[in-house]
Amino acid sequence: MRLGKYEIGKTLGHGNFGKVKFAIDFETQQPFAVKELDKTKIIDLNITHQFKREIYTLKLLKHPNIVRLHEVLASKSKIYMVLEYVNGGELFDTISSKGRLSETQGRKIFQQLLDGVSYCHRKGVYHRDLKLENILIDANGNVKITDFGLSALPDHFRDDGLLHTTCGSPNYVAPEVLANRGYDGAASDIWSCGVILFVILTGSLPFDDRNLSVLYHKILKGEIHLPKWLSPGAKNLIRRILDPNPKSRITMASIKMDDWFRKDYHPVYLEDEEDTHMTNEALSFSMHEVPSYLEEKCSESPTTINAFQLIGMSSCLDLSGFFEKEDISEKKIRFTTNQYSTKEDIFKQMEFLVTEMGFLIHRKDGRLKVMREMERGENGSVTTILSISAKVFEISPSLYVVELKKLHGDSSSFRQLCKSLSSDLGIPPGITRDDITSSVL
């Protein structure tokens, strides 16, 4: 199967809403993992916010211990997240097949896990679903954190400065999350990291029971039984992390100062990292700047539309807010047409229509600029009263998206022009609206 520049291969795994498949960029031969999501399921289950949150977060987090999102593509029924390929599988599979790890191996994994999680926290992102299944291991034994669908961002905090959504996996969830009185995202993530450390060093869960009520009771009490063969340093750190009281639980900074943790520790230093939290304004700006693939390249071939643009056409799955703070409906309108064989045919028909309406046109680099001017004053000065740009994207053969963007002028005039063009471009070339009216009569 071909998906844009990617050749899709075997299935790597299954999720709740689709499959994860192996893919190769046939231009560079670089491997990727493509997460295939069913758009209908996302809408029907009302989880568009979860899907958007994962993209929102992954496009912003750039750390060697976090899975990188490279691109998002879409068809009419599917959405494809092109992710970094991690060929070592889940940490869960490693523990299931090998059993517990040595303290040296476990410490290295835990150090990298803490590096990735603390980076998220510095950026104002809290994972909230850390577990063995969401920790991938590459061929070199390095950690890659994935699945940010339940992550919390700055705007999820209430006025009390706490999170209130109960979420996570039962065996890994912190007691304060279960108490349903609000919780600190950093402290709850640290608890989950402690559960992971316990599992990789002992091969079993610290809190487990088939009955959820019994399991939650155990978690709330926070009583753990540590094997005698664990080193005193490992025991001490696990106890301090799995403290049921979030106020006295060890912090991320203190973990990194712990003697057991610091042994053979090689922290990751990111030269371009800013130590500020990601505010809503910063997030909006970053998402506007990050996806360079949104830029149209000058080419005679039809431009391919990507997921952010295609999804933007759907009010049920609108990602346009990631890129502009203003109401996009006032500045940009998109519509589809299947009445034309080529992009060139659409441009020619559009030029004909707007010229008939009295507009001036200028075409360059795959775009059409449409202007209406008016003379003012005794000196003959000319004022532009409306200016728009038009682009055409190919979704599939004979199916195109026309994008009209207001550059200058009155919004009502812009909407009126867009309404006229969207209506007229839906008519097959060579047929006028008068022809349709007369045939109906």
d(CA 89, CA 315): 36
Is the domain of 161 the same as that of 228?
yes
Is the domain of 137 the same as that of 241?
yes
For 53-87, give one letter per residue: b (16+ CB within 10 A) or e.
bbbbbbbbbebebbbbbbbbbbeeeebbbbbbbbe
The CATH number of residue 247's host domain is 1.10.510.10
- Lowest mean pLDDT: which of 169-173, 195-199, 306-310, 336-340? 306-310
d(CA 86, CA 32): 8
Answer yes or no: 155 catalytic. Answer: no
d(CA 242, CA 174): 9
∠ CA 335-337-341, nearest 5°, is 145
Among 86, 118, 142, residue at a domain's last position: 86
Q: Are 33 and 24 in contact, with CB atoms under 8 Å apart?
A: no
Residue 124 lies in a domain: yes
The CATH number of residue 26's host domain is 3.30.200.20
Coil vs helix vs strand at 431 = coil
pLDDT value of residue 225 = 93
> Could you list the residue range(s) of the whole structural domain that residue 81 is in?
2-86
**Binding positions for ATP:** 35
Q: Report CA-CA distances (Å) from 123 to 111, 126, 128, 323, 349.
A: 19, 9, 15, 19, 49
pLDDT value of residue 401 = 80
Coil vs helix vs strand at 91 = helix
Residue 286: pLDDT above 60? no
Residue 81 lies in a domain: yes
Catalytic residue among 115, 129, 184, 424: 129
Is the domain of 65 the same as that of 101?
no
Among 70, 86, 102, residue at a domain's last position: 86
**13 pLDDT band (50/70/90 cuts)?**
confident
Is the domain of 50 the same as that of 192?
no
| Length in residues, the chain | 441
Residue 64: pLDDT above 90? yes
133: how many CB neighbours lie within 10 A of its CB? 16
Residue 280 lies in a domain: no
Q: Who contacts 424 (Cβ-Cβ below 8 Å, separation ≥6)?
A: 349, 353, 433
pLDDT value of residue 359 = 83
- E strand or H helix at 35: strand 31-38
Is the domain of 78 the same as that of 95?
no
Number of domains in the chain: 3
Within 13 Å, how many C-alpha atoms sit on residue 27's CB side?
A: 4
Q: Who contacts 220 (Cβ-Cβ below 8 Å, separation ≥6)?
A: 175, 178, 179, 244
Residue 7 lies in a domain: yes
Q: Are 354 and 348 in contact, with CB atoms under 8 Å apart?
A: no
Is the domain of 71 the same as that of 158?
no
Residue 254: pLDDT above 80? yes
* Mean model confidence pLDDT for the chain: 78
- Give 349 or 205, the one with higher predicted confidence: 205
Among 45, 70, 86, residue at a domain's last position: 86
**323 pLDDT band (50/70/90 cuts)?**
very low
**335 pLDDT band (50/70/90 cuts)?**
confident
d(CA 78, CA 36): 7
- If you search the block for the tokens 């301090």, which residue do you land on? 240
Within 13 Å, how many C-alpha atoms sit on residue 131's CB side?
A: 17
d(CA 414, CA 212): 58
Residue 54 lies in a domain: yes
Is the domain of 429 the same as that of 348?
yes
Amino acid identity for residue 268 in this structure = V
Is the domain of 131 the same as that of 56?
no
Q: Are 124 and 161 in contact, with CB atoms under 8 Å apart?
A: no
Joined tokens for residue 294: 């949104």
Q: What is the pLDDT of residues 392-405, one digit of tens each?
A: 877 666 677 888 88
Coil vs helix vs strand at 361 = strand
